[in-house]
Amino acid sequence: MPLMPRSSATSAAPRLRPYQTQAVDNVIAHFRGSDEPAVVVLPTGSGKSLVIAELARRARGRVLVLAHVRELVEQNHAKYLAYGLEADIFSAGLKRKESARQVVFGSVQSVVNGLEAFAAGDFTLLVIDECHRVALRHGGAESETQTSAAERARASSSYAQVIARLRQARPNLKILGLTATPYRLGEGFLYYRHYHGMVKGPEDAFFRDCVFEQPLRVMVRQGYLAEPRRLDAALAFYDFSHLTAQRNGQFAERDLNGVVQGNRATPQIVADVIERARDREGVMIFAATVAHAEEVLRLLPAEASALVTGATPGPERERLIAAFKARELKYLVNVAVLTTGFDAPHVDVIAILRPTESVGLYQQIVGRGLRLSPGKRDCLVLDYAGNPWDLYAPEIDQARPDSDSEPVQVECPECGFANTFWGKRDGDLVIEHHGRRCQGLLSTRDAIDRAQPGAQDDRSNPETSASAGVGAGANESRSAASGAHEGKGAASGANKGKGAAAGANKAKGAASGASNKVQCTFRFRFKVCDQCGGENDIAARACGHCGERLVDPDDKLRDALKLKHAKVLRVSGMQLQATTNGRGVPRLKVTYHDEDGETLDEWFGLETPAQRHVFERVFLRRHLRAPGSGWQPASAEEAAAEAHRLRAPDFVIARKSGRYWRLGEKLFDYAGRYRTAEAAGGGSYDDSLPANCCTDFNRIG
């Protein structure tokens, strides 16, 4: 491991805060045991530059620190110089292209244009500041997912070229990313595993592990950052709710201008900003478009205001920013150019006059006002665009399903991990959630120990188990590390977990343990393979167990309609009734309705443990609105009384069996081309599905 122990620190070294020291220790611990790329998450204003400087100082080999703007290059370089050490700068914007010293701070575009200076093979550590800009996948390939902007895509390609060149010379190159916002628009988290013992991002994420994270709420509570005090506009505001984002996740400029240009609310909004900022020091205003920003500027006090856009010439931009930092200007209007790499601690008002497409962008904008400054008591956040993001606990791995949803904790029935998903409560009872797969991490040893024949069942996942070197029974593992996770609260509650994995936040060396863990295989919702019966993600196209192509739901519907003795019911409702069958035996009757009143019935016995087991396996696992909750009705009466805990399928397919139609497949989470009952709201059927496909159903005996 090319990092020196802390004992070699010089007396001139700046004093790190406790969380900065922990971040450095966790990085070193991770890279002592792994070559996999890692991430450190620190809020804006928390001192990422000092963490970078300390890591560079303690490195034995050569270090390259990359940033995407020259301001960050200069800022990171200055922190390193504070140690009394020297380092080179490789940045055309700073008119310096030096690369001989042990530590080099460079702008990514300058480095990619001068890669021959970095081909010697003696660089052992690559640090990427603002690493959320890197859209790569595990193995070095670029993501095929649409990035948030063409500029970011170009930047990502530049990072890929630098990484490829450095790895060509040194395959075990250590790569560390730092960011305040560890996610990308439309893609979710940029890393796979979190050191608290959970899976956060895609399995093919380039950055494998988050080895340290300092929550913003903790930073504010401990007095390291100013408190953000958000006020949503009550009278004057812009309505962007009808706009639709483009494929890259951003709003088109013409659509934004259609809302803000000439809007009668603009003079009221600017007047409100001026009034609320009367006793404030520095105001940053984030406008929607250049035309909008120019209009806002005309309404501000001319002698105390300035505008910076992407088209502002470099020298003029530097002059205006310097004047603002010197408090010669009070108002600084910008259009998406001062969201990163801008440091003006006296800013105590953030006015948002634009929609923010991602929680990351929202956090970066608000972060401009959270640094501490003498006499600064808080930061006033004025939102005139109705942005929905939660600054402290954003849920960004999936969109909020509806306005009534809230973060809920769902314990995995296999490993005990406390997942956080969008869902709904009835008091303390979780009655619905939208989780797909358990996010808990199991130690490989635990998985192997529990992968015994007696522990196997048909819910095992050979794909995941094989990658971990374990058998099919790993799905039944009860990991002590993740099972002890007792996190309470919503999205950020996992940070307070009391289990062994969460406790690693204070244990040196724990960061490296994440790479030796595998994701729990339990799926709350799943798609079953027709060939092998294996469970897969509901969006999977190929089976992860046998490799066979998963049949498309639309193909299933079409194939069923071609059969002489098959019927398709487009479900509009489901009813449960405790009754008796034709022989007077107690049964639970489940009736599915279509929009024309046709029905199809399904019957279950719940009198014996064996019957209840069948009911759980055949019915409950697919129908529960909160799967994995452990609810197991003991009687037909209890099942009927708690019917609100169940969901209806979108389609059911029945086949003729003697005199009756026997229910076969059920399609849940349908996202195909045929209209579902929930989306229809009445009216005629889609012409692509025959209108008579749901008639003449008889009861299943």
pLDDT in tens, 53-84: 999 999 989 999 999 888 899 999 999 998 88
Q: What is the pLDDT of residues 627-659, one digit of tens each?
A: 988 889 999 999 999 999 999 999 999 988 888
Alpha-carbon distance of 576 to 433, in angstroms, equals 21
Alpha-carbon distance of 232 to 384, in angstroms, equals 6
Regarding predicted confidence, which is higher, 519 or 461? Answer: 519
Residue the block writes with tokens 């902007």: 149
Task: Look at residue 642 and give its three-state secondary structure.
Answer: coil
DSSP string, 349-415: EEEE-S--SSHHHHHHHHHTT-S--TT--EEEEEESS-----SSS---SS--SSTT-EEEEEE-TTT
**Four-residue CA torsion sign, 287, 292, 297, 300:** negative
Q: What is the pLDDT of residues 79-127, one digit of tens each?
A: 999 888 999 999 998 999 999 999 999 999 999 999 988 877 789 999 9
Least confident segment among 46-50, 172-176, 535-539: 535-539
Closest alpha carbon to 519 in 456, 458, 452, 436: 436
Residue 420 corresponds to which tokens in the numbers above?
């956080």
* Sheet containing 227-232: order of strands: 227-232, 378-383, 347-352, 282-286, 331-334, 305-308
Regarding predicted confidence, which is higher, 152 or 34? Answer: 34
Residue 385 corresponds to which tokens in the numbers above?
């665009």
Q: At residue 446, does pLDDT exceed 60?
A: yes
Mean pLDDT across the stretch 313-339? 91
Cα angle 121-127-129, degrees, rounded to a multiple of 5: 145
For residues 321 and 388, the answer to whether their CB atoms sit within 8 Å is: no
Note the pLDDT of residue 60. 86
CB contact set of 460 (below 8 Å; sequence gap of 6+): 471, 472, 473, 474, 475, 476, 521
Note the pLDDT of residue 267. 93
Residue the block writes with tokens 């399903």: 401
Q: At residue 260, does pLDDT exceed 90?
A: no
Note the pLDDT of residue 449. 58
Note the pLDDT of residue 665. 87
Percent of the chain having pLDDT more than 90? 41
Give the 3-state secondary structure of 30-81.
HHHHCCCCEEEECCCCCCHHHHHHHHHHHECCEEEEEECCHHHHHHHHHHHH
Q: Band the pLDDT of 675: cuts 50, 70, 90.
A: low
For residues 46 and 173, the answer to whether their CB atoms sit within 8 Å is: no
Note the pLDDT of residue 129. 94
CA dihedral 670, 675, 680, 686 (to 10 degrees): -160
Mean pLDDT across the stretch 514-536? 84
122 CB neighbour count, 10 Å cutoff: 12
Q: What is the pLDDT of residues 468-521, one digit of tens each?
A: 322 223 333 333 333 333 333 333 333 433 333 333 344 444 444 556 778 888
Note the pLDDT of residue 366. 92
Residue the block writes with tokens 């991490």: 441
Measured N-to-C along each axis, helices 290-299 and 265-276 cross at an angle, to the nearest 10 degrees, of 60
Note the pLDDT of residue 101. 93
Task: Look at residue 211 and give its three-state secondary structure.
Answer: strand
Mean pLDDT across the stretch 539-559? 85
Alpha-carbon distance of 202 to 320, in angstroms, equals 42
Task: Look at residue 641 and give its three-state secondary structure.
Answer: helix
For residues 311 and 359, the answer to whether their CB atoms sit within 8 Å is: no
Q: Are strands 347-352 and 282-286 parallel, antiparallel or unpaired?
A: parallel
Note the pLDDT of residue 128. 96
Regarding predicted confidence, which is higher, 38 or 534? Answer: 38
Alpha-carbon distance of 392 to 375, in angstroms, equals 24
For residues 517 and 507, the answer to whether their CB atoms sit within 8 Å is: no
Q: Band the pLDDT of 361: cuts 50, 70, 90.
A: confident
Q: What is the pLDDT of residues 189-211, one digit of tens each?
A: 889 999 988 888 888 899 999 99
Least confident segment among 487-491, 572-576, 594-598: 487-491
Cα angle 638-643-648, degrees, rounded to a multiple of 5: 140
Highest average pLDDT, of 238-252, 450-464, 561-575, comes from 561-575
Mean pLDDT across the stretch 429-454? 73
Q: Band the pLDDT of 547: cuts 50, 70, 90.
A: confident
Mean pLDDT across the stretch 169-179? 93
Q: At residue 691, does pLDDT exceed 80?
A: no
Alpha-carbon distance of 175 to 163, in angstroms, equals 9
Percent of the chain having pLDDT more than 70? 78
For residues 111 and 90, the answer to whether their CB atoms sit within 8 Å is: yes
Note the pLDDT of residue 448. 55
Closest alpha carbon to 594 in 567, 618, 616, 554: 567
Note the pLDDT of residue 494. 37
Q: Band the pLDDT of 343: cuts 50, 70, 90.
A: confident
Half-sphere exposure of 63 (CA within 13 A, CB side): 23
pTM attached to this predicted model: 0.70
Residue the block writes with tokens 């929607």: 288
Note the pLDDT of residue 252. 82
Q: At residue 463, does pLDDT exceed 50?
A: no
Residue 507 corresponds to which tokens in the numbers above?
């244990």
- Work out the burial of residue 262: count CB atoms within 10 Å of its CB; fewer than 13 is exposed, 13-18 middle, 19 or more buried: exposed
The residue count for the chain: 701
